């Protein structure tokens, strides 16, 4: 045989043998551990070794892939996992835009997809395609409700918005518009910025001129810091609200004194010591401890979203195994049905109750109001 | 819009504009001397800022491994050439010197408590760490292709940029960082508060531009570089080494890039991938100068900063669009005024 033939023969046999060799449950994990949203993707990738390794007596294998934050690469990775690896479910991707671009492929192949992304648009409004998608983060409006309630109770009448010019900021602007209308709060300024902007003077001056009672900054990760420091530098004295996108330790480090007193709503993971005991608290505490042991740092909540996806699957697999063997279309479809029937399942981010309409499944147990006190996160009392 | 807001925005635009001007000048310098469009210039900005931030957090900047790696490759190549052709005492000494330099820098970084030394020492160390990367980069990636068509050089330059962004993520992580301001005071000018860092940026930029001007007008090395820019073949016939010219301009570009990063790091959060968009604005300035004229490029870059600041105020949604659309009228104007297309190849 020529070398070329040998190689192709090897390839053929390996691709034939692979499905026989392990009849385990195969889960693909796509994260963006490089590229612009690496801040979200790296803790997610780091969480993969902590995911459950077996469920219902079957071994679970995880197949991690990196999409470099690029939606095209996400689609490729998705197709590879579905067509070549025949995975039973996919956890990921990290980015909202990336997730939006692969929903149709999950639906076409009948593969359940558990997206640890922020935007509610991946599961709302529910369509035939989105039936295959589950979301392991709180919907923006759940977080926003908590903030708007707090604004109302403290007598805030006018607010200014500063958001990133990406799906994250846009969606928050939309959600806030709906919610504030109902509560009689007026949005007097709505400014946008880019994550990489080196200056925010213009936007914050515009907000200052409108003189709102409070300002909400909607930006993912450490990009949420600059609008706030600029506002403080220019002497803004009102309350500043942040979204759960800011709930990261770099926010405290970069912001320093300027972020003192910020109010945000996020999962209780940040203030575990202060919240009352609950099954969620135990799971989150264990996750944080394991993660610290493995990587030597505290995990961001983004990582916990992936762990929750793993827990949801672990919970759903035993009942799905009754309907088919792993690797078959029946199994995947049964897995989807079982995920949709998840009831009162505690996980790091709260308690899941999935229904045919709600594929995020969180209620107010999934969020608490948090503030920054002496450079640390503290429960808002 | 009142006077106070206009001055605040003006101050902001001038600060950013000064940085863009510095970058525009080094893009121009590298382009005229070597025909390379230095896309990775922005990465020097972020490397400078993030290395400085790492030092202030008391961490040893991981960039030392990049420097060590590059120096080792560089020395290995030199050694290989020495052995293959003929052994030259002086060249061997140079190799030893280079290796010694890298070792000394790394030893310093690991044995000094970086967060406690004065800021000026931190700045010096950051520059010592980053500036040598410039010439080594030229030697490894561009020197073998010095006579290749400009397009090939551009492709290598883009590849280098992509690689450096990846290395940046690896070395500095995805989180942004900012540094302490050089001095904490601000002072009042009429009704407007001037931030001291703004003055630092503007003053250092002006100082660097003036120094460059003097260096190019008065010193022999400066004149040699200018000669290479005007006519490479002619300069070569006069005994000016194109290799030296390339390395010197890359060292200058790395210096200006990392100095810009250190200057703006206290004002803004920089990420491992922020550099590109910053250098792109410097590039717009350089284009306005037609990639030949230094003064017009500097003025253009300051104009970019100003337009950016004011469009941020009026239409924050469209800021980037406005800034980068600016380039189109200049391109049209340039293409209408150019008489012939010079083909170097």
Summarize pLDDT for B40-72 with one digit per residue, the tens.
999 999 999 999 999 998 888 889 999 999 999
Closest CA to A30 of A284, A274, A306: A306
Residues of A in contact with B16 (CB under 8 A): 198-199
Residues of B in contact with A41 (CB under 8 A): 174
Model confidence over A254-297: pLDDT tens digits?
888 888 889 988 888 888 888 888 888 888 888 999 999 998 88
- The confidence score (pLDDT) of residue B248 equals 92
> Is B341's pLDDT higher than 70?
no
- The confidence score (pLDDT) of residue B45 equals 95
Residue B91 · residue B78 · CB < 8 Å: yes
Model confidence over B257-288: pLDDT tens digits?
999 999 999 888 898 888 999 999 999 999 88
Whether omega for the bond prior to residue A125 falls within 30 degrees of 0, making it cis, is: yes
> Is B124's pLDDT higher than 90?
yes
Residue A364 · residue A146 · CB < 8 Å: yes
Average pLDDT, integer, range A165-173: 84
Residue of A nearest to B195 (CA): A233
For chain B, the maximum distance between any two Cα atoms, rounded to a whole number of angstroms, is 72
Q: Which helix (H) or strand (E) holds A159?
A: strand A158-164
Q: How confident is the model at residue B103 (pLDDT cuts 50, 70, 90)?
A: very high
Average pLDDT, integer, range B80-108: 88
Spatial CB neighbours of B28, under 8 Å, sequence gap ≥ 6: B286, B289, B291, B292, B294, B297
Average pLDDT, chain A: 85
Average pLDDT, integer, range A14-42: 73
- The confidence score (pLDDT) of residue A213 equals 92
Residues of B in contact with A191 (CB under 8 A): 316
- The confidence score (pLDDT) of residue A4 equals 58
> Is B15's pLDDT higher than 50?
yes
Contact between A203 and B311 using a beta-carbon 8 Å cutoff: no
Q: Which of residues 43 through 102 in chain B touch A, CB cutoff 8 A?
A: none
Spatial CB neighbours of A69, under 8 Å, sequence gap ≥ 6: A32, A34, A35, A36, A37, A38, A41, A94, A95, A98
Closest CA to B48 of B26, B73, B33: B26
Distance between CA atoms of residues A373 and A380, nearest Å: 9
Average pLDDT, integer, range B284-312: 89
> Is A99's pLDDT higher than 60?
yes
- The confidence score (pLDDT) of residue B122 equals 92
**Strand pairing category for A214-218 and A239-242:** parallel
Average pLDDT, integer, range A215-232: 88
> Is A168's pLDDT higher than 50?
yes
Ramachandran angles phi, psi of B111, nearest 5°: -110, -10
Q: Hey, what are B43's tokens?
A: 């990465």
Residues of B in contact with A258 (CB under 8 A): none
- The confidence score (pLDDT) of residue A20 equals 44
Signed CA dihedral, A185, A189, A195, A199: sign only:
negative
pTM attached to this predicted model? 0.83
Distance between CA atoms of residues A54 and A313, nearest Å: 10
Report the residue from A199, A206, A209 with minimal CB separation from B309.
A199
Q: How many residues does chain B have?
A: 345
Model confidence over B150-208: pLDDT tens digits?
899 999 999 999 999 999 988 988 888 888 888 777 676 666 667 788 888 999 999 99
Q: How confident is the model at residue B230 (pLDDT cuts 50, 70, 90)?
A: confident
> Is A182's pLDDT higher than 70?
yes
Average pLDDT, chain B: 88
> Is B228's pLDDT higher than 90?
no
Residue A206 · residue A158 · CB < 8 Å: no
Q: What percent of chain A shows pLDDT beyond 90?
A: 12
Average pLDDT, integer, range A124-147: 86
ipTM surpassing 0.85, yes or no? Answer: no
Any chain B CB within 8 A of the CB of A277?
A: no
Measure the CA angle with vertex A130, ends A129 and A134; round to 5°. Answer: 145
Residue of A nearest to B165 (CA): A35
Any chain B CB within 8 A of the CB of A226?
A: yes
Average pLDDT, integer, range A48-57: 87
Ramachandran angles phi, psi of A140, nearest 5°: -55, -40
Q: What residues form DSSP beta bridges with B92? A: none
Spatial CB neighbours of B116, under 8 Å, sequence gap ≥ 6: none
Average pLDDT, integer, range A12-39: 70
Residues of A in contact with B178 (CB under 8 A): 254
Q: How confident is the model at residue B20 (pLDDT cuts 50, 70, 90)?
A: very high
Residue A51 · residue A283 · CB < 8 Å: no
- The confidence score (pLDDT) of residue A196 equals 80
Residue of A nearest to B314 (CA): A202
- The confidence score (pLDDT) of residue B190 equals 65
- The confidence score (pLDDT) of residue A300 equals 83
> Is B312's pLDDT higher than 60?
yes
- The confidence score (pLDDT) of residue A275 equals 81
Distance between CA atoms of residues B180 and A257, nearest Å: 13
- The confidence score (pLDDT) of residue A5 equals 58
Nearest-CA distance B173 → chain A (Å): 8
Q: What percent of chain A shows pLDDT beyond 70?
A: 94
- The confidence score (pLDDT) of residue A23 equals 64
């Amino acid at each position: 045989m020529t070398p070329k033939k040998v190689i192709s023969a090897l390839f053929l046999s390996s691709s034939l043998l692979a499905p026989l060799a392990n009849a385990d449950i195969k889960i693909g994990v796509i994260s963006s551990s490089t590229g612009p949203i690496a801040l979200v993707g790296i803790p997610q990738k780091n969480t993969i070794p902590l995911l459950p390794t077996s469920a219902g007596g079957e071994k679970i294998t995880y197949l991690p892939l990196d999409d470099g934050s690029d939606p095209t690469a996400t689609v490729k990775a998705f197709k590879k996992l579905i067509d070549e690896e025949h995975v039973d479910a996919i956890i990921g991707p990290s980015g909202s835009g990336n997730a939006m671009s692969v929903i149709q492929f999950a639906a076409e192949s009948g593969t359940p997809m558990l997206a640890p992304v922020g935007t509610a648009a991946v599961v709302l409004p529910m369509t035939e395609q989105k039936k295959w998608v589950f979301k392991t983060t709180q919907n923006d409006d759940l977080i926003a409700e908590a903030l708007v309630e707090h604004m109302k109770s403290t007598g805030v009448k006018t607010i200014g918005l500063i958001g990133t010019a990406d799906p994250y900021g846009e969606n928050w602007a939309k959600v806030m518009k709906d919610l504030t209308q109902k509560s009689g709060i007026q949005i007097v300024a709505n400014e946008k910025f880019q994550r990489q902007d080196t200056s925010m003077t213009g936007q914050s001056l515009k907000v200052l001129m409108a003189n709102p009672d409070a300002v909400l900054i909607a930006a993912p990760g450490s990009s949420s810091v600059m609008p706030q420091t600029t506002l403080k530098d220019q002497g803004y004295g009102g309350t500043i609200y942040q979204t759960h996108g800011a709930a990261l330790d770099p926010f405290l480090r970069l912001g320093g004194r300027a972020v003192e007193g910020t109010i945000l709503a996020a999962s209780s993971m940040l203030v575990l010591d202060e919240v009352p005991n609950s099954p969620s608290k135990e799971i989150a505490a264990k996750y944080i401890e394991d993660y610290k042991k493995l990587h030597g740092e505290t995990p961001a909540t983004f990582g916990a979203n992936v762990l929750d996806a793993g827990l949801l699957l672990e919970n759903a697999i035993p009942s799905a195994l009754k309907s088919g063997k792993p690797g078959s279309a029946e199994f995947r479809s049964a897995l989807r049905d079982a995920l949709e029937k998840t009831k009162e399942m505690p996980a790091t981010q709260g308690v899941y109750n999935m229904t045919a309409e709600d594929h995020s499944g969180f209620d107010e147990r999934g969020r608490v109001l948090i503030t920054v006190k002496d450079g640390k996160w503290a429960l808002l009392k | 819009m009142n006077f106070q807001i206009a001055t605040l925005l003006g101050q902001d635009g001038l600060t950013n504009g000064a940085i863009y001007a510095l970058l525009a000048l080094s893009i121009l310098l590298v382009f005229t001397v070597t025909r390379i469009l230095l896309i990775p210039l922005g990465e020097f900005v972020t490397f400078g800022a993030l290395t400085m931030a790492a030092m202030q957090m008391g961490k040893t900047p991981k960039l030392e491994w990049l420097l060590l790696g590059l120096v080792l490759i560089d020395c290995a190549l030199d050694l290989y050439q020495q052995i293959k052709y003929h052994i030259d005492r002086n060249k061997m000494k140079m190799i030893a010197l280079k290796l010694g330099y890298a070792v000394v820098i790394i030893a310093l970084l690991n044995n000094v408590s970086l967060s406690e030394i004065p800021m000026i020492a931190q700045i010096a160390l950051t520059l010592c760490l980053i500036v040598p990367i410039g010439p080594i980069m030229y030697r490894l990636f561009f020197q073998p292709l010095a006579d290749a068509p400009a397009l090939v050089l551009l492709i290598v330059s883009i590849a280098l940029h992509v690689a450096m962004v990846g290395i940046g993520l690896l070395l500095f992580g995805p989180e942004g960082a900012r540094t302490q301001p050089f001095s904490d005071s601000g002072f009042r000018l009429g009704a407007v508060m001037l931030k001291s860092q703004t003055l630092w940026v503007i003053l250092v930029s002006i100082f660097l531009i003036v120094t460059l001007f003097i260096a190019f007008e008065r010193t022999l090395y400066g004149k040699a570089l200018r000669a290479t820019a005007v006519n490479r073949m002619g300069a070569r016939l006069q005994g000016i080494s194109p290799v030296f010219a390339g390395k010197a301009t890359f060292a200058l570009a790395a210096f200006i890039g990392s100095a810009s990063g250190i200057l703006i790091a206290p004002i803004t959060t920089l990420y491992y991938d922020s550099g590109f968009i910053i250098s792109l604005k410097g590039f717009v300035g350089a284009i306005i100068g037609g990639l030949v004229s230094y003064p017009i490029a500097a003025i253009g870059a300051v104009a970019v900063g100003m337009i950016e600041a004011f469009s941020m105020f009026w239409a924050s949604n469209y800021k980037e669009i406005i800034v980068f659309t600016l380039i189109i009228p200049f391109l049209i104007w340039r293409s209408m005024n150019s008489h012939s297309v010079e083909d170097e190849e």
